[in-house]
Chains A and B, each alone.
Chain A
Amino acid sequence: MPKTRKIDFSRLPDSRGHFGPYGGKYVPETLMTALDELEEAYRTAKSDPKFRKEFSHYLKNFAGRPTPLTEARHFAKTLGVKKVYLKREDLLHTGAHKINNTIGQALLTLRMGKKRVIAETGAGQHGVATATVCALFGIRCDVYMGQEDIERQTLNVFRMKLLGTRVIPVQSGSQTLKDAVNEAIRDWVTNVKDTHYIIGSVIGPHPYPMIVRDFQSVIGKETGAQLKQLGIKSPDYCVACVGGGSNSLGLFSTFLKSRAKLIGVEAAGRGLHTRQHSATLSLGSIGVLHGSKSEVLQDKHGQIQLAHSISAGLDYPGVGPEHAYLKKTGRAEYVSATDDDALLGMKILSRTEGIIPALETAHAFGYLVKHKPRFEAHEVIVVCLSGRGDKDMERVSKVLHL
């Protein structure tokens, strides 16, 4: 990566939350002080050994870290490459990487003395992870979820309710993740004095993209250490799915300085030639959505377009500002996989490795299978297996006829 060698990605974002032209704080004035407060609380916590110890404690003893790095022999054979390793975030408590971030942010909530937590959720994974930590720490929790997503993720809705969280249906706009974020921000503007908003991805105003990335960077750090034990200094590729982009950035952040090629796989939905996709980095343009500047799917008048994906977790017309910057600088490459590719990826991984991935994660496998000629026999690929597929079985059983 010679052209990006000069950029020190580890110093990003800058003090005002910018990643090159992206990032920043584009929110109503009412929230500006709360964002400053959150940044201050995070910076203090980060350098406090007590906080770091507590965070590690819960990651280990509650969430189940470290997660294994599983060698996928048969899948590697299918691709015709030397090795494929799977970072097993699917084995975490609640079934996905989302819990890494919610533990961190719940601890911040307690430090800031806030009494209530709100969150948005698409597939319900972040909602469940938030409901879980709120139950653990005794914090009142409300989760906003689009009406359409409530209908396609009934199991996760029930899990949240069982955990004592109130799930608030969002009936405005597209009734999916985008509108759940709008509604959560509206709640936060109203109740900012006693409420912390746990954003679930590397999106939103600064400092969220930084905080969520840092809490998820445990994925990459563990992967790096596990590869080292296997005698591998750097893989040839790191591959992960990208909606907002938290699992991918969690993995990528450790390897930004390495020689590894970083590939983010977006959801191409029914195809990039249709308007029914969520491929923000492939087909978006620069704009402001949900508090930060990044690439967004929009029309020529600046109205945000509706996204589509078979996976509710990727069904989002924006993307984290750091991803937009990694694309712009050429440090990471962003590709896409359709709904059908994802179903294929799910099927192949299930049958070759005995692991059923979440539909979101399945996009990464679908891409690899569809593009296997680009990978060479001597190469080593790491894939972030960000979540397990249990939550998707009802939906998938309707479209995948076995």
Chain B
Amino acid sequence: MTRIENKFKQLKKQKKKALIVFITAGDPSLKKTQELIYAFEKEGVDLMELGVPFSDPLADGPVIQAASIRSLERGTTLAKILAVVKKARKKSQLPILLMSYLNPILAMGPKKFAQAARSSGVDGVIVPDLPPDEEKDVRELMRKEAVDLVYLLAPTSTQKRRQRIVKASRGFVYYVSLTGVTGVRKSAATDAGKNISAIKKETPLPVCVGFGISDPSQARKMSAVADGVIIGSSLVKALAGHSHLSAESFAKKFVRPFVKAVHA
């Protein structure tokens, strides 16, 4: 059983939903990223997504675009992020997923990447520009290394695609709550509940919801219908504005309200 599967099993027993937190790796620094892993785990975050910065993040809104640029300017690479996870793994059991566009993975070589992910203690990978229709060998390589490749489902996915995606996905299914890029929205999607229950009919996998969920009250609403809630841009934005805070203080101030909302 992978660390991700194990986490969801535990949560199910405790009748709790998962809080998944996204930050862009290397923003403001890789050292801070490592500290945030520890601080988030201590604060009660269930899973963590580390964004691998890419020059052309076409599924991301302005907040994560800006974080990616800052991170790239500091020289962040996929290899350096893997090294950070490896270091953090010595002290942390928090399930960690990398969220990366496909090209940096192809540049490293999918096989080398899958092996390095496993040996560094990365538990899963999310690739926003990779639908299950492409790169079946990448999927096989990840399975071989027991790294969960999580596929995304959208409100526009047809039933046929839904079936195909849940079948291909491992760890959990990432439901994109609205048509759009990542980013803070005033109000969260309204049809998510209906769509998530339709997905849950097709698969025993946990279904987690992300994109546009930016405050604890939205998170609480979403956690009522999904198995997990993913918070990204709003924390990336907060981090950019409070980079002087220690990882612990940041987690206490900005992450704790989400933990409370989702675990309530």
Q: Are A173 and B55 in contact (CB under 8 A)?
A: yes
A304 at the interface (CB under 8 A from B): yes
Interface of A is mostly: mixed
Contacts of A291 in B (CB 8 A): 129
Chain B's nearest CB lies how many Å from the CB of A108? 19
Which residues of the other chain, B, contact A193 by a CB distance below 8 angstroms?
156, 179
Using an 8 Å CB-CB cutoff, how does the interface string of B114-154 with A read, 1 for contact, 0 for none?
00000000000000111101100000000000000001111
Known A182-B58, A189-B181; judge A298-B103 contact (CB<8 A): yes
Specify the main secondary structure of chain B where it touches its partner.
loop
- Known contacts A190-B179, A288-B102, A304-B103; A33/B56 CB under 8 A: no
As a 0/1 sequence over residues 88 to 131 of chain B, the CB contacts with chain A under 8 angstroms (1 = contact) are: 00000000000001111111100000000000000000001111
Partner-binding segment picked from A23-31, A62-70, A241-249: A23-31
Task: Tell me the bound Cα distance from A372 to B106 in angstroms.
Answer: 40
Residues of chain B contacted by A185 (CB below 8 angstroms): 58
A335 contacts B by Cβ under 8 Å: no
**Contact between B161 and A288, CB atoms less than 8 A apart:** no
Chain A nearest CB from B195 CB (Å) reads: 12
B176 touches A302 (CB 8 A): no
- In contact, B156 and A27 (Cβ under 8 angstroms): no
Known: A190-B179, A301-B77. A289 touches B65 (CB 8 A): no
Q: Is the CB of B152 within 8 A of A301?
A: no
Contacts of A303 in B (CB 8 A): 54-55, 72, 103-104
Q: When A29-B176, A185-B58, A193-B179 are in contact, do A287 and B107 touch as well, CB less than 8 Å?
A: yes
* B165 interfacial contact with A, CB 8 Å: yes
Measured between alpha carbons, how far is A303 from B107 in the docked complex, in Å?
9
Q: Mark A188-226, 1 if CB is under 8 A from B, else 0.
A: 011111000000000000000000000000000000000
Produce 1/0 per residue, A11-29, CB < 8 A to B: 0000010000000111111
Contact indicator A26/B102 (Cβ below 8 Å): yes
Contacting pair B103 A302 (CB below 8 A): yes
- Say if the beta carbon of B158 comes within 8 Å of chain A: yes
| CB-contact partner of A25 in B55, B78, B133, B165, under 8 A | B133
State the CA gap A178–B154 with chains docked (Å): 25
Minimum CB–CB distance for B259 against chain A, Å: 28
Q: Which residues of B contact A34 (CB under 8 A)?
A: 156
Cβ of B105: which chain A residues have Cβ within 8 Å of it? 302
B152 x A29 contact (CB < 8 A): yes
Say whether A6 faces chain B, with CB atoms less than 8 Å apart. Answer: no
Give chain B residues whose Cβ lies under 8 Å from the Cβ of A301.
77-79, 104, 107-108
* A300 sits at the interface (CB 8 A): yes
Say yes or no: A29 contacts B103, CB within 8 Å.
Answer: no
Number of chain A residues whose Cβ lies closer than 8 Å to a Cβ of chain B: 39
Q: Which residues of B19-51 are within 8 A (CB) of A?
A: none
In the bound complex, residues from chain B placing their C-beta under 8 Å from that of A304 are: 55-56, 103
Asked if B158 contacts A33 (CB within 8 A), the reply is yes
Contact A286 B106 (CB under 8 A): yes
Q: B80: nearest residue on chain A (CB-CB)?
A: A301
Using known A-B contacts A29-B176, A30-B155, determine if residue A287 contacts B181 with beta carbons closer than 8 Å.
no
Nearest-neighbour CB distance to chain A for B152, whole angstroms, equals 5
CB proximity of B220 to chain A, nearest CB, Å? 25
Contact of B179 among A26, A36, A173, A192 (CB under 8 A): A192
Distance of A33 from chain B, by nearest CB (Å) = 5
A301 to B78, CA, bound (A): 7
Given the known interface contacts A33-B161, A178-B56, A189-B59, the answer about A300 and B107 at a Cβ–Cβ threshold of 8 Å is yes
The minimal Cβ–Cβ distance linking A12 to chain B, given in whole angstroms, is 17
CB within 8 A of B165: which of A24, A27, A29, A191? Answer: A29
Q: Are A182 and B56 in contact (CB under 8 A)?
A: yes
Q: How far is the CA of A368 from the CA of B187 in the complex (A)?
A: 58
| A288 adjacent to B103 (CB under 8 Å) | yes
A36 neighbours in B (Cβ, 8 Å): 158
Interface residues on B, range: 35 or more
A290 at interface by CB-CB < 8 Å: yes
Judged by a CB distance under 8 angstroms, whether A32 is at the interface is yes
CA distance A287 to B181 in the complex (A): 22
Which of A178, A179, A186 touches B61 (beta carbons < 8 Å)? A186
Shortest beta-carbon distance from B39 to chain A in Å: 28
Contacts of A192 in B (CB 8 A): 156, 179
Shortest C-beta distance, B17 to chain A (Å), equals 23
Q: Within 8 Å of chain B (Cβ to Cβ): is A172?
A: yes
CA distance A185 to B61 in the complex (A): 11
Contact partner of A298 (CB less than 8 A), chosen from B107, B131, B156, is B107
CA distance in complex: A289, B107 (Å): 12
Q: How far is the CB of A27 from chain B (nearest CB, A)?
A: 6
Q: Which of B104, B154, B158 makes the CB contact (< 8 A) with A28? A: B154
Residues of A within 8 A of B54 (CB): 302-303
B133 x A32 contact (CB < 8 A): yes
Residue from B129, B152, B156 within 8 A of A26 (CB atoms): B129
CB contacts (< 8 Å) of A190 on chain B: these are: 179-181
Given contacts A26-B129, A290-B58, A301-B77, contact A32 B157 (CB under 8 A): yes
Cα–Cα, bound, A293→B134 (Å): 10
Contact with A along B174-189 (1 / 0, CB 8 A): 0010011100000000
| Chain A residues, CB < 8 A from B128 | 28
Contacts of A179 in B (CB 8 A): 56
Q: Name the B residues within 8 Å of A173 (CB-CB).
A: 55-56
CB closest residue in chain A, given B60: A186
Residues from chain B with Cβ under 8 Å of A288 in the complex: 101-103, 106, 129
Q: Hey, which bits of chain B sit against chain A, CB under 8 A?
A: 54-59, 61-62, 65, 72, 77-79, 101-108, 128-131, 133-134, 151-158, 161, 165, 176, 179-181
20 A-B Cβ contacts within 8 A? A26-B129, A29-B151, A29-B165, A29-B176, A32-B161, A33-B161, A36-B158, A186-B59, A190-B181, A193-B179, A287-B106, A288-B101, A288-B102, A289-B56, A289-B103, A290-B56, A301-B104, A301-B108, A302-B54, A302-B105
